[in-house]
Amino acid sequence: MSPENPHLRFLLFLAVAAVAGGGAAAGTTLTASLSGDQIKIRWTGLPAPDGLDYVGIYSPPSSRDRDFLGYLFLNGSASWRSGSGELSLPRLPTLRAPYQFRLFRWPANEYSYHHVDHDQNPLPHGKHRVAVSADVSVGDPARPEQVHLAFADGIDEMRVMFLCGDRGKRVVRYGLQKEDEKEWKEVDTDVSTYEQKHMCDWPANSSVAWRDPGFVFDGLMKGLEPGRKYFYKVGSDTGGWSEIYSFISRDSEASETNAFLFGDMGTYVPYNTYIRTQDESLSTVKWILRDIEALGDKPAFISHIGDISYARGYSWVWDHFFSQIEPIAASTPYHVCIGNHEYDWPSQPWKPWWATYGKDGGGECGIPYSVKFRMPGNSILPTGNGGPDTRNLYYSFDSGVVHFVYMSTETNFVQGSDQYNFLKADLEKVNRSRTPFVVFQGHRPMYTSSDETRDAALKQQMLQNLEPLLVTYKVTLALWGHVHRYERFCPMKNFQCVNTSSSFQYSGAPVHLVIGMGGQDWQPIWQPRPDHPDVPIFPQPERSMYRGGEFGYTRLVATREKLTLTYVGNHDGQVHDMVEIFSGLVSSNSSVAVAVHDTKLGTEVSTVRKISPLYLEIGGSVLFALLLGFSFGFLIRRKKEAAQWTPVKNEES
Ligand SMILES: *[C@@H]1O[C@H](CO)[C@@H](O)[C@H](O)[C@H]1NC(C)=O
Ligand SMILES: *[C@@H]1O[C@H](CO)[C@@H](O)[C@H](O)[C@H]1NC(C)=O
Ligand SMILES: *[C@@H]1O[C@H](CO)[C@@H](O)[C@H](O)[C@H]1NC(C)=O
Ligand SMILES: *[C@@H]1O[C@H](CO)[C@@H](O)[C@H](O)[C@H]1NC(C)=O
Ligand SMILES: *[C@@H]1O[C@H](CO)[C@@H](O)[C@H](O)[C@H]1NC(C)=O
């Protein structure tokens, strides 16, 4: 239609002006409803639709227009140009309140580089609302959600935590026979929460990021027989029950240990929001679920060593995170240690000059992490603002033949500190005939060959204060996150390899691995040499046995004789690297001894991982080209019209 008639043209101008000026366009409708496991959002009658028009996602419905959780562009629907269309979302977490959807215009000339998301892309401003949906309830907030397990201090215990919208009484029921619920035991739960005023900084303390976090319930199942399959459910008759889940109880006599370990995984959310979220985390959870199912009735646990949800203050991201991990965490203990993105804020209590502690926690100051998880031990640090203490800092447990230790690289670890004293005493008393292997874990790496010059002084302090402990007490593996890559070092002390094979008997130093490739997509580069255009990246040092940029996780399998750690890539679900360490103990069980012999033969496949100089050069140039690409992309993007939405990786980890 080309409006030749001047009156018509004027009328059309008025209509567009009214819409652009924020007036509700009479006749534009927006409906949203839950149908099965999908939320369907439909609109009709939007005059002169524009490429940036969007639907804002809100909860609770009383939120101001500028306090959206996220948004979807109308162009996600093929028919958007006609002024009508449909978008769908998977069922969202309840957030203890209904959702509401609002349709907005976003005129291109109001596009602003001052109001930006985490990737410096412009964020909608929540002006020019044209239609509002009815409230959409996605579930009963009284019903338990976000169920997850963890080991507790007693070996015959299992902790279960979950979330409800009110603090009314909830219990845990558990037993060995799935069909025989009358015989199940019942235990009470503790309940806790936190408030907006406890958040230490922006954005966590602002109306943009804060939402009612609900109530966290914590129940301890006790008196469990070792290595048995238990069934359980949580809730109450009045508020409703969870589904029935199962887990394999802890078995301190188990002759095999299975664990899945990674750092920096994050969360997927099915819409655009203020911060970068981690689509890749879906694959990590998917493959681990595959492996857990393949283990059948063997006990296992999961270890996520810091940078957990990457909520960084945006509280509903935690709700997405716990919903996302529930398929693995409701049946397998989920263990964590604290990362910079759970904790760091400007006035954190311990901040030596050499530590690069910034504002990475988004003002959460460790509180959601400390309330939503409860790890063994009782390490506690006051927040200093009347809010809940920071906990889950350092602790340890035995799982089968391995002693696992967790530390906090965000709080005091130097000689003489409470944490240092704990770690030393803990390592000292490990009974190596019971647990021939010790795995030590923390968030920021002691070793990495990536370009993390920012953390150089902190690494130096870790080497000085902690490495002697790892060597003296014969730690088998030291696992670190923070750098979003996989890198395996030889067993070493003070940068010196004691063995460069990938299958060897423990020989006096831990194997260090960086396993921060769980999902966050910003990848640091390997240490650059800017003045060497021919080889712009430092050649892989001798001590670095394998390094990769694929997302994934590691899988640990240990018997009394041997610990094997493999690196599984998310792109294909296959093993890409492996190290095996023999304890030197020989089993009295002859069939296991044979198995050891077999795998020794089998390691030929996995031992040769050194990159040839040619490959390195090629790899180096590709990386350099990528680097240039990123920088150019960045410059060009800055200059171009804002319609480009290329995510640019920024300097965070
Ligand atoms: C929809 O619009 C956004 C913002 O302009 C753009 O980034 C995106 O690529 C568009 N999507 C489609 C499918 O055209
Ligand atoms: C959030 O915390 C920061 C740092 O304490 C403070 O400056 C700011 O005023 C707080 N904002 C709100 C909304 O409380
Ligand atoms: C160490 O563990 C072994 C094997 O379980 C046990 O026989 C021994 O008593 C333990 N030693 C100490 C000091 O607890
Ligand atoms: C490394 O370990 C392998 C297997 O245990 C062994 O054969 C080799 O001698 C060791 N090398 C060094 C330098 O210790
Ligand atoms: C020896 O190991 C095999 C395989 O793990 C197991 O089936 C068997 O029960 C073990 N025997 C003894 C005596 O421990």
Q: How far is the CA of 208 from the centre of ligand 2 (A)?
A: 12
Question: What's the angle, vertex CA 301, arms to CA 142 and CA 360, rounded to 5?
Answer: 70
User: pLDDT tens for residues 405-425?
Assistant: 999 999 999 999 999 999 999
Q: In this structure, which residue's CA is closest to atom 3 in ligand 5?
A: 591
Residue 455 counted as domain residue: yes
Q: Please report the pLDDT score of residue 587 as a whole number.
A: 64
Taking CB atoms and a 6 Å cutoff, what residues make up the pocket around ligand 4?
A: 499, 501, 504-505, 507
Ligand in closest contact with the CA of 363: 2
Domain count across the chain? 2
In-domain check, residue 458? yes
**Cβ pair 484, 264 in contact under 8 A:** yes
Sign of CA dihedral 373, 38, 124, 519: positive
Closest protein CA for atom 14 of ligand 1: 75
What DSSP character marks residue 99?
A: B
Is pLDDT of 312 > 80? yes
> CATH number of the domain that 297 lies in?
3.60.21.10
pLDDT bucket at 114, cuts 50 / 70 / 90? confident
| pLDDT beyond 60 at 651 | no
pLDDT tens profile 490-540: 999 999 999 999 999 998 999 999 999 999 988 777 888 888 888 888 888
CATH code, 64: 2.60.40
Q: What is d(CA 82, CA 214) in angstroms, rounded to the nearest whole number?
A: 41
**CB-based contact 237:393 (threshold 8 Å):** no
Assess whether the C-beta atom of 432 lies below 6 angstroms from ligand 3: no
Q: State the pLDDT at residue 595.
A: 35
300 and 447 housed in the same domain: yes
Residues 198 and 367: beta-carbon distance below 8 Å: yes
Same domain, 545 and 407: yes
Substitution candidate for ligand 5 out of 562, 586, 587, 589 with most atoms within 8 A of CB = 589
Answer whether residue 588 shows pLDDT above 80: no
Residue 246: pLDDT above 90?
yes
Same domain, yes or no, for 128 and 258?
Answer: no
The answer to whether residues 122 and 266 belong to one domain is no
Tens of pLDDT, residue by residue over 614-641, are 333 333 333 433 333 333 333 333 333 3
Distance CA(444)–CA(338), nearest Å, equals 10
Out of 75, 109, 136, a domain closes at 136
Range of the domain at 346: 253-582
pLDDT of 63-80, one tens digit each?
A: 999 999 999 999 999 999
**Nearest ligand 2 atom to alpha carbon 363:** 2
Q: What is the C-alpha to C-alpha distance for residues 106 and 85, in angstroms, rounded to an integer?
A: 17
pLDDT at residue 646 greater than cutoff 90: no
Q: Ligand nearest 365 Cα, by number?
A: 2
Q: Is residue 185 one of the residues assigned to a domain?
A: no
For ligand 1, the distance from its centroid to the CA atom of residue 69, given in whole angstroms, is 19
% of the chain surpassing 70 pLDDT: 86
Cα 314 to averaged position of ligand 2 atoms, centre (Å): 15
Region 141-170: what's the mean pLDDT? 98
Give residue 273's pLDDT: 97
Helix%, strand%, coil% for the chain, nearest 5: 20, 25, 50
Q: Evaluate whether residue 110 is within a structural domain.
A: yes
Q: Are residues 132 and 266 in the same domain?
A: no
Q: For 273-279, what is the mean pLDDT?
A: 95
Please indicate whether residue 589, judged by its CB atom, sits closer than 6 Å to ligand 5. Answer: yes
Instruction: Please report where in the chains the tokens 């238990």 appear, as a residue.
Output: 230
Q: List strands edge to edge, sheet with 38-44.
A: 29-35, 38-44, 85-90
Among 136, 152, 170, the domain-final residue is: 136
Pocket test for ligand 1, best of 73, 105, 109 (most atoms within 8 A of CB): 73
Q: Which residues line ligand 1 (CB under 6 A)?
A: 51-52, 73, 75, 643, 645
Report if residue 115 sits inside a domain. yes
Please state the atom number of ligand 2 nearest to the C-alpha of residue 206: 13
Residue (of 165, 211, 199) closest to 60 by Cα position: 211
- What ligand has the least distance to the C-alpha of 53? 1
Residue ending a domain, choose from 136, 169, 201? 136
For the stretch 93-126, what's the b/e string if a residue is b when 16 or more beta carbons lie within 10 angstroms of its beta carbon? Answer: bbbbbbbbbbbbbbeeeebeeeeebbeebbbbeb
Q: Please report whether residue 150 resides in a domain.
A: no
The pLDDT of residue 120: 85
Summarize pLDDT for 123-139 with one digit per residue, the tens. Answer: 999 999 999 999 999 99
DSSP 572-596: TS-EEEEEEEE-S---S-HHHHHHH
For the Cβ of 201 lying below 6 angstroms from any atom of ligand 2, the answer is: yes
Determine which residue's CA is closest to atom 1 belonging to ligand 5.
Answer: 589
